[in-house]
Chains A and B, each alone.
Chain A
Amino acid sequence: MSTTHAANSTVTGNALELADVRKVYTLGDGSEIVALDDATLTLASDEIIALVGPSGSGKTTLCSIAGGILSATSGSIVVGGEDISGHNARQLTTFRQEKVGFVFQSVNLVPFLTARENLLVVDELGRRTGAPARERADQLLDELGLADRAKNLPAQLSGGQRQRVAIGRALMNDPALVLFDEPTSALDTKLGEQVMELIRQEMKTRGTAAIVVTHDERITHYCDRSVHIVDGALRD
């Protein structure tokens, strides 16, 4: 099944194909918690979806599995043509270096690195291309309107600027899929809308797919469609 999906994904160019993905946690007393219940989801190569649901609905679990941070209990996961269903930890690490970008809820820039160096971290952890990575970082910072802030530390940047650095970091490795975890939760309405416009613009310009995890219905119109998740089950 997973081989078929991998072949299909290459042919169709889908960024993400989840098929019957389950994540089950077994507690110490033997009982089970189903965090993700037979999730099936397909993302086209340049599609942006909003993943909406209340706390504890399984949004983070789904993103973690799609992003290769968490292994599924069962099911098929194909990202950018790569079947990661059976990947071990080492393979998942390589996968994350090359195929996925993350923008975390707390932004989580490295506090002692400049904006530029925060982008270059991705290259240092992965392919170590050197000069090409530096050029790409400079280009991304320019596109994100941060060229003059390249040498600033995160503490010297505003909340919105830090968010843009995080977006740049997520795009450094030219990923097939970018996962945005509550990108506007720490921002006011106006700034939140600016960030969502920027996200849409950057994703569409590059033809990169994205999942925007949010419980904020006000920003879902920036996405191509919304997918709802409740108690681990997806509902379109």
Chain B
Amino acid sequence: MKLALTELRRRPSRFATATVILTLIAILLMFLGGLLDGLINSSVGALRVQQADAIVYDSTAQASFVRSRIDPELRATVEAVPGVTEVGGLGLVQVGARVPGNGPRELAGVALFGYEIAPSGVPDPPPDGQAYADDVLKTDGVEVGMTIELGPARTPVEIIGFVSDTSYSGQGALWASPTTWRDTLAANRPGAQVADGVFQALVVQGDVDDLPAVIDAATDGRTESFTVQEAVDAIPGVEQQRSTFGQIIGVTVAIALVVIALFFALLTVERTALYGVLKALGARSSSIFAGLVLQAVVVTLIAAVVAGTLVVVLDRVIPAGSVPLDVSVSRIISSAALLLVAAVVGCSFSLRRVLRVDPASAIGSGT
């Protein structure tokens, strides 16, 4: 093991190529992971920040805001469920917004939420006609104090502040009072307008185990309730994004494994004579192989640290809203862990070669 570390210190150039390639792969891996997280967050942010033990849709809605209607009577049933402590309505309308200073055809896609219970990071509902905007809308030119016009009916909404990480379906969210939402819905989607007291979903807080199931049982199946995570997973496209990116990430890890396997197989072939000498001197195959694995781990760790640093810098430099990149410490660590596993597995392809090195090869030339 000490021998392996000494070689790394004294002959770094020998490992430079593999380190550079692994760094590039690590950057790709972390970038892909950050893109996946960013895409998912931009789809589900608005739901993920809900302070809820259950999100309730009507049972015909298939977890879709557009298809769901919760009337006051159904809401009262939910409020009466033992253990429920607070119930708030939630409504959504997705429209194009005209932002002052932008061209007539340059519409910003927004998801306007009417809410009662403030989500995490969002203040209490503002007065009618006003809204908090997600900061991704800054790239569309939205500013505090500005009045933007929503939809074909140009419903005016004044922006009074910014919040973060609350996007929905790739659009920046606006957080407004239920009245503002209903007015916008009625003016721009007359076919979908709702009466006072009607919401598309309920945000429910309670101290009961498995609250979603309890609510659905209490409403006799007229509702379909989810935990926040389940509601997030049910958003259209989320599972497909996870699956697609998961496959791309898997292929990238496989490439890293092959790179390491090839590099260390080559290194082992080059060092066959040296291994023969070491074995003749009394080295065990296990300690030679352990040294190899240690070198692979060190090289991979260096690549992961460099890549992680670069990706974090990239995340800071890229303007919010331009690229859906969301770099988190957990994603960097999990990517590094995947690479380390690939390093150890890749090295194992050289084990047989190490075992087969014959110490007798160190002696003579066939005499």
A122 & B363 in contact (Cβ 8 Å cutoff): no
Q: CB of B7 within 8 A of chain A?
A: yes
Which residues of B1-40 are within 8 A (CB) of A? 2-3, 6-7, 10-11
B6 & A113 in contact (Cβ 8 Å cutoff): yes
Q: CB of B333 within 8 A of chain A?
A: no
Q: CB of A161 within 8 A of chain B?
A: no
A168 and B362 CA atoms in complex are apart in Å by 17
Determine, out of A37-45, A56-64, A143-151, the stretch whose residues face the partner at the interface.
A56-64
The interface size bin for chain B is 20 to 34
Q: A64-B360, A102-B362, A104-B362 are in contact. Are A121 and B280 (CB under 8 A)?
A: no
Which chain B residue shows the least CB distance to A58?
B367
Determine, out of B55-63, B104-112, B258-266, B282-290, the stretch whose residues face the partner at the interface.
B282-290
A113 and B278 CA atoms in complex are apart in Å by 13
Q: CB of B190 within 8 A of chain A?
A: no
CB distance from B358 to the nearest CB of A (A): 8
Q: CB of B240 within 8 A of chain A?
A: no
CB distance from A25 to the nearest CB of B (A): 12
Q: CB-CB < 8 A to B280: which residues of A?
A: 67, 69, 96, 102, 104
Q: CB-CB < 8 A to B191: which residues of A?
A: none
B364 & A105 in contact (Cβ 8 Å cutoff): yes
A60 & B367 in contact (Cβ 8 Å cutoff): yes
Q: CB of A10 within 8 A of chain B?
A: no
A117 and B3 CA atoms in complex are apart in Å by 10
A57 & B367 in contact (Cβ 8 Å cutoff): yes
Q: CB-CB < 8 A to B366: which residues of A?
A: 55-56, 60
Which chain A residue shows the least CB distance to B8?
A112
Which chain A residue shows the least CB distance to B2?
A124
Q: CB-CB < 8 A to A213: which residues of B?
A: 364, 367
Q: CB of A24 within 8 A of chain B?
A: no
B283 & A59 in contact (Cβ 8 Å cutoff): no
Q: CB-CB < 8 A to B274: which residues of A?
A: 108, 110-111
Q: CB of A94 within 8 A of chain B?
A: yes
Q: CB of B273 within 8 A of chain A?
A: yes
Chosen A-B contacts, 13 in total, with CB atoms closer than 8 Å, are: A59-B364, A69-B363, A104-B280, A108-B273, A108-B362, A110-B274, A111-B274, A112-B7, A112-B10, A112-B11, A113-B3, A124-B2, A215-B367
Given A69-B360, A93-B282, 15 other A-B residues pairs in contact with their CB atoms under 8 A: A60-B360, A64-B360, A67-B280, A90-B284, A93-B279, A97-B282, A105-B363, A108-B273, A112-B10, A113-B6, A113-B10, A121-B281, A122-B281, A125-B282, A213-B367
